[in-house]
Amino acid sequence: SEPFSNLPSICTALFEAKAAKGLTFEQIGNAIGRNEVWVASAFYAQAKLSKDELNALAQTLDIDQSSLNAELGEHWFPRRSIGPAIPTDPVIYRLYEGVMVYGNSIKVVIHEKFGDGIMSMIDCEVDIQKKPTDKGEHVVLTFEGKYLPYKKW
């Protein structure tokens, strides 16, 4: 679970502290008041923690608060988007395959239901649920993003 090498070194410390404490992202999310997927993205330096969240995180993981602030504090800003351009890990590739196979269909249905615009990936929430079924467990992955119509001028 070591993060990518071009991320702030504090990320490794976060993952290690989490492993040492034996906490899940859900538990950490509850402790700082955020969804588990968002918390995981903060661990990968893909989201920015507020001052209060940093403090809560330091307390939850028994990490030194000042070093957390020194690396991920107010002045810090995320370089989002990590990993190879065409993902190769099977879990992430399946998501990419979903974009390649269903992307045009999603686009055309969004156009039909909403108009000429996009689903924002900035004003967007990502959620994962476990759903038991007769034939085994299902992963329910939801993106809920604001619809943004193209401006004309």
CA 142, CA 126: separation in Å to the nearest integer?
A: 6
- Is 97 a catalytic site residue? yes
CA 51, CA 4: separation in Å to the nearest integer?
A: 24
Tell the smallest beta-carbon distance from residue 133 to a copy of itself (Å): 8
- Which of 120, 125, 137, 144 is an active site residue? 120
- Which of 50, 67, 97, 125 is an active site residue? 97
CA 109, CA 115: separation in Å to the nearest integer?
A: 9
Does position 5 interact with a copy of itself (CB under 8 A)? The reply is yes
CA 106, CA 129: separation in Å to the nearest integer?
A: 21
Residues 110 to 139: which contact a copy of itself by CB under 8 A? 110-114, 116-128, 130-131, 135-139
Question: Which of the 8 DSSP states describes residue 74?
Answer: T
Does position 66 interact with a copy of itself (CB under 8 A)? The reply is no
Q: Which of 87, 111, 128 is nearest to 144 (CA)?
A: 128
Question: Which of the 8 DSSP states describes residue 48?
Answer: -
With CB under 8 A as the contact rule, the residue among 25, 54, 63, 68 that binds a copy of itself is: 25
Taking each helix axis as running N to C, give the angle between helix 51-61 and helix 10-21, from 0 to 180 degrees, rounded to the nearest 10.
50
Residues 67 to 106: which contact a copy of itself by CB under 8 A? 73, 75-106
Tell the smallest beta-carbon distance from residue 63 to a copy of itself (Å): 16
- Is 34 a catalytic site residue? no
Tell the smallest beta-carbon distance from residue 103 to a copy of itself (Å): 4
- Is 120 a catalytic site residue? yes
Tell the smallest beta-carbon distance from residue 7 to a copy of itself (Å): 10
Number of alpha carbons in the 13 Å side-chain half-sphere of residue 96: 11
Catalytic residue positions, numbered: 94, 97, 120
